[in-house]
Amino acid sequence: MKLFNNQMKWVALASLLLTSLQTKGQIDKTLEKLNLYSLAYPQEKVYLYVDRALYGNGETIWFQAYITLSPLGTFSDLSNTLYVQLINRNNETIIIDKVFIENGVGQGHFELPLELSTGEYQLIAFTNWMRNFDEENYFRKDLEILNEAVPAENQFTNTEQLVDVQFLPESGSLIANAPSKIAFKALLPSGLPKEVNGTIYNSQNEPISRFSSTHDGMGIAYLTARENE
């Protein structure tokens, strides 16, 4: 009876080990499949840098475009054409242009129509490859456009107080839980630099970093980004 019990214990232990090995094997296979999927279907991310956030009708919007691959963080070689749109608050397309991309970098510009009315607009940028995924991954940036001849109901006043502050992570993107150095520049609607100082807050409205420009509206900020913040 004792021998039989020992045999049963060894059978149970062997069964447990086999189950554990199978579970670990399934996890490894799942991770391998996820890695293969990421390599087979990488996601592109677009970053569009414009010279300011406030324009007048008839002016030119100049922009620099960067396309990276996620999760690798390298410049994309998947796409050589970037589509850039300007839409109004009614989601109507005002301008659409195609920008040539080489090694993940390109540049372009928009000539704003003279008849464009005062209001809020949005720049949208995406590639054909990005159309395979959710539109929420498209690049979007809000802009203000002024037209004294065609005012909106809420006409802007004292526009010199509107300052566009652009933050540019040193490595191209922020990494969660890693201290990062971020360059920034502040511009007035006229395109002239503006000396600024300010505070960065998290989603709980807690101050996490302070910054101050040192020359021509430019300076360095330090930030430790948190996941899902």
Going by C-alpha positions, the residue among 10, 54, 19 that lies closest to residue 194 is: 54
Winning range, highest mean pLDDT, from 8-17, 27-36, 39-48, 87-96: 87-96
- Determine whether 4 is exposed, middle or buried from the number of CB atoms within 10 Å of its CB (0-12, 13-18, 19+): exposed
Between CA 183 and CA 175 the distance in angstroms is: 15
Question: What ranges do the domains of the chain cover?
Answer: 43-156, 159-229
The pTM score is 0.52
Q: Give the Cα separation of 7 and 194 in Å (integer).
A: 82
pLDDT at 36: 52
Overall size of the chain counted in residues? 229
Residue type for 9, please? K
- Asked: is 159-229 a CATH 3.40.50.300 domain? The reply is no
User: Pairing mode, if any, of strands 139-146 and 54-56?
Assistant: parallel
- The CA distance from 190 to 129, in Å, is 36
pLDDT for res 23:
66
Same fold for the domain at 43-156 and the one at 159-229? Answer: yes
Rounded distance between C-alpha atoms, residue 198 and residue 195, angstroms? 10
CA distances from 173 to 75, 178, 211 (A): 12, 11, 19
* Fold exhibited by the domain 43-156: Immunoglobulin-like (2.60.40)
103-147 confidence digits (pLDDT tens): 999 999 989 998 888 888 999 999 999 888 888 889 999 988 888
- DSSP secondary structure string for all residues of 153-221: SS----GGG--EEEEEETTSS--TTSEEEEEEEEE-TTS-B---EEEEE-TTS-EEEEEE--BTTEEEE
Q: In 10 A of CB 150, how many CB atoms? A: 13
